[in-house]
């Protein structure tokens, strides 16, 4: 299990954010049109102030109990997305605190959304674009039927392609997600992490999810 990231400094985060924004510009995109979501699974609650000072607004948490603790400790300061494996029974607790649950991919989750969602509830549907066995996400061929069954507004799609050291290996998966979103009139594309966010931006990402690369110390 990975350890918590200690000693985060706002200055380092700001410098890393500028590098991210420059890579987005190199991708031919306006950085203001690609949201940087800071994944804070391994960020201690007490260090969230450094992220606030650095200007980060959008945070993503993988664990429901940690999202609740962090959001309640910083009321109104951040916008939260849930980005982890979704236990359907956690949906009622998450909905009041998050902008999007990004990992909706089961009929049990749809059932909870039907019971507890409102007219303002919006979610992202997770798609297993690579067809990886044992990995969460709706198969591309099953997406249309799943969207029809969803009882709340779907704002877009999310995916996590296979882990790779070559960012170009992720390109066909991102391109497929963009194609699927276009076919269904969905705007948001949450795709790309520290390993491949530049390629994701080139392929139309509107949200990129970055973790440790945002927090690493910068050389003086």
Give residue-wise pLDDT tens across range 119-171.
Answer: 999 999 999 999 999 899 999 999 999 999 999 999 999 999 999 899 999 99
Side-chain-side CA neighbours of 29 within 13 Å: the count stands at 23
Q: Report if residue 3 sits inside a domain.
A: no
For the stretch 160-217, pLDDT in tens is 999 989 999 999 999 999 999 999 999 999 999 999 999 999 999 999 999 989 999 9
Question: Is residue 105, in this structure, part of any structural domain at all?
Answer: yes
Domain membership flag for residue 4? no
H helices of 76-211, in order, are 91-94, 107-116, 143-149, 171-183, 197-202
Express each pLDDT in 81-101 by its tens digit: 999 999 999 999 999 999 999
Please check whether residue 32 lies inside any domain of the structure: yes
pLDDT at 219: 59
pTM: 0.95
**CATH code of the domain containing 106:** 3.20.20.10
Say how many domains are in the chain. Answer: 1
3-state SS class at 57: coil
**How many Å apart are CA 187 and CA 182, to the nearest integer?**
8
3-state secondary structure of 123: strand
Inside any domain, residue 220: no
β-partners of residue 81 are 60, 100
Q: What residues make up the domain containing 98?
A: 10-214
76 Cβ contact partners less than 8 Å away, ≥ 6 residues apart: none
Q: Does any domain span residue 177?
A: yes
Instruction: Fill in the DSSP letter of residue 83.
Output: -
């Amino acid at each position: 299990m990975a350890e918590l990231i200690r000693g985060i400094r706002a200055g380092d985060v700001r410098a890393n954010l500028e590098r991210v924004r420059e890579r987005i510009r190199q991708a031919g995109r306006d950085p203001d049109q690609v949201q940087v979501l800071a994944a804070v699974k391994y960020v201690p609650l007490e260090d969230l102030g450094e992220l606030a000072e650095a200007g980060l607004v959008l945070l993503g948490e993988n664990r429901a109990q940690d999202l609740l603790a962090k959001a309640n400790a910083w009321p109104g300061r951040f916008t939260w997305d849930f980005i982890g494996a979704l236990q359907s029974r956690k949906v009622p607790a998450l909905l009041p605190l998050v902008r999007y649950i990004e990992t909706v991919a089961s009929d049990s989750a749809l059932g909870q959304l039907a019971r507890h969602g409102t007219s303002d509830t919006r979610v992202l549907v997770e798609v297993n674009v690579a067809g990886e066995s044992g990995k969460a996400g709706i198969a591309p061929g099953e997406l249309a039927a799943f969207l029809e069954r969803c009882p709340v507004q779907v704002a877009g799609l999310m995916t996590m392609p296979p882990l790779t050291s070559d960012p170009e290996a992720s390109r066909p998966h991102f391109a497929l997600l963009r194609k699927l979103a276009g076919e269904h009139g969905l705007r948001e594309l949450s795709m790309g992490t520290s390993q491949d966010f530049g390629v994701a931006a080139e392929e139309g990402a509107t949200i990129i999810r970055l973790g440790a690369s945002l927090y690493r110390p910068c050389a003086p």
